[in-house]
Amino acid sequence: MTTPHNSANPGDIAKTVLMPGDPLRAKFVAETYLEDVKCYNEVRGMLGFTGLYKGKRVSVQGHGMGMPSIGIYTYELYNMYDVDNIIRIGSAGAIRQDVKIMDLVFGMGACTDSNYADQYGLPGAYAPIASYDLLERGVNIAREKNQKFFVGNVLSADVFYNDQGAPSVWEKMGVIAVEMEAAALYMNAARAGKNALCMLTISDEIYSGRELPPEKRQVGFTAMMEVALDLAASL
């Protein structure tokens, strides 16, 4: 069954999918780490690949930028392609001043300024969270690799260029970093009864203005990629 956004056929996509925002990062992961790789999607340039990692079937696909985009792609993967686990491997801006460029962040929860949850008609505010099993496994793998990491709340923002400036006010509530997709991913997973985890590499320090160039964001996050792949292989 194909969709307007995905040309994969039933069985083309593995039960576990790694998802970066940038489809070229998906291509890099597939070409660098996977064996027997097949490209299952090129629609709208949102590349998707399936291959083997340590003998385990794993897929990797881009999801684009923002909650509307990841909302579409993850909804289809969970509900139309019977995917069980989605691991976002994205970039983020550090809000806390002890979090530095290239540090790894696990999004245990995702605050948001989006109204994405309005569609569910809930009688209050919903708190999107990661799947504990994926979070625990991922943290243990990062620890085994001696990878520096942080675990906590992230902010999924609707706006990249915010007219009100940097979201540093969120630091007062313990938020570690800002990105644009985790909340929608976690809500889609909850609604579908599936699993999700957002892993982030810090590409910007909002408090200092330091940032990585685009190429480094595309191919430089290998520590995060390897943690995510080992996590996928453990499922």
Catalytic residues: 204
As beta bridge partners, residue 53 has: 56
Helices (H) and strands (E) in the chain, counts: 6, 9
* Residue 147 φ/ψ, nearest 5 degrees: -85, 130
List C-alpha distances in Å: 128 to 88, 123, 131, 191, 192: 14, 15, 10, 11, 13
Category of 121 on φ-ψ map: left (φ > 0), alpha (ψ -120 to 50) or beta: left
Measured at the CA of 52, the angle between CA 49 and CA 58, to 5 degrees, comes to 55
Length of the chain: 235
Angle between helical axes of 132-144 and 222-234 (0-180°, round to 10): 120
**Which residue from 29, 66, 37 is spatially nearest to 230, judged by alpha carbons?**
29
Neighbours of 36 (CB within 10 A): 8
Neighbours of 1 (CB within 10 A): 9
